[in-house]
Amino acid sequence: MAQDTEQSFTGGVLPVDDEGFVVDTEDAEERETAHRERGTSRPITVVGNPVLHKECKDVTAFDDDLAKLVDDMFASQRTAQGVGLAANQIGVDLKVFVYDCMDDDGVRHVGVVCNPVLQELPADRRHLDESGEGCLSVPTAYADLARPDYAVVTGQDEQGNAIKVRGTGYFARCLQHETDHLYGYLYIDRLSKRERKDALRQMEEGTPRYPVVPND
Ligand SMILES: [Zn+2]
């Protein structure tokens, strides 16, 4: 979804800082609890399910159905002990992800992004950091993957207000990973052929600790 550069990033569900980024650390625990207690946990789709391998549809209706989906996503994320969850990971073809993720300073970030677009980083902010990554849709597998240690995502909150979210360290990794999901990419698609094969082998040998949707 194209972003209008003239839009103002204010007036959303969450307060914004003086640079216009959402303050997703405020009342993080209370907000996450409220969402998941209203929601119903759903099983997680796994690699091979077509819904994970194509671009999701834009969110156009910011209504009660979307609110219910977001609640279910927080409930599902908690059941699976994830730090981020994209809608197609519970089988819904819509561009929305939720997160409940610590950054490298141990600060908890909780939020929702609809129609996310990852912003290009200026060269001086683009530092690759290689560390371990996993995905609820590739259960029990982990691999090292180099990604920028800083990320900015623009999009909309669950009420349709324009927002921008930024993250560092592990939270930056999460923002990139979840945005990738909504465009049909898993982190294993960014690995070498050999590493990808190894991740799939780890998955075959392991047993997920949460309910998954079986592939046909
Ligand atoms: Zn994932």
149 is in which domain, residue-wise? Answer: 28-206
Active-site residue, selected from the candidate residues 178, 195, 204, 205:
178
Residue 13 domain-assigned (yes or no):
no
8 CA to middle of ligand 1, Å?
A: 30
Residue 105 domain-assigned (yes or no):
yes
Residue 137 domain-assigned (yes or no):
yes
Whether 95 shows a pLDDT value over 50: the answer reads yes
Query: Could you please report the per-residue DSSP string of the chain?
Result: ----TT----SSSS-B-TTS-B-TTTTHHHHHHHHHHHS---PEE-TT-GGGSSPPBPP---SHHHHHHHHHHHHHHHHTT-SEEEGGGGT--BSEEEEEEE-TTS-EEEEEEEEEEEPPPPGGG--EEEEEEE-TTSTT-EEEEEEESEEEEEEE-TTS-EEEEEEEHHHHHHHHHHHHHHTT--GGGGS-HHHHHHHHHHHHHS--SS-EEPP-
Write the pLDDT tens digit of every residue in 41-85: 999 999 999 999 999 999 999 999 999 999 999 999 999 999 999
Specify the CATH number for the domain of residue 175. Answer: 3.90.45.10
Residue 23 domain-assigned (yes or no):
no
204 noted as active-site residue: no
Residue 10 domain-assigned (yes or no):
no
68 CA to middle of ligand 1, Å?
A: 21
Residue 6 domain-assigned (yes or no):
no
Total number of domains in the chain: 1
Residue 14 domain-assigned (yes or no):
no
Residue 155 domain-assigned (yes or no):
yes
Write the pLDDT tens digit of every residue in 137-159: 999 999 999 999 999 999 999 99
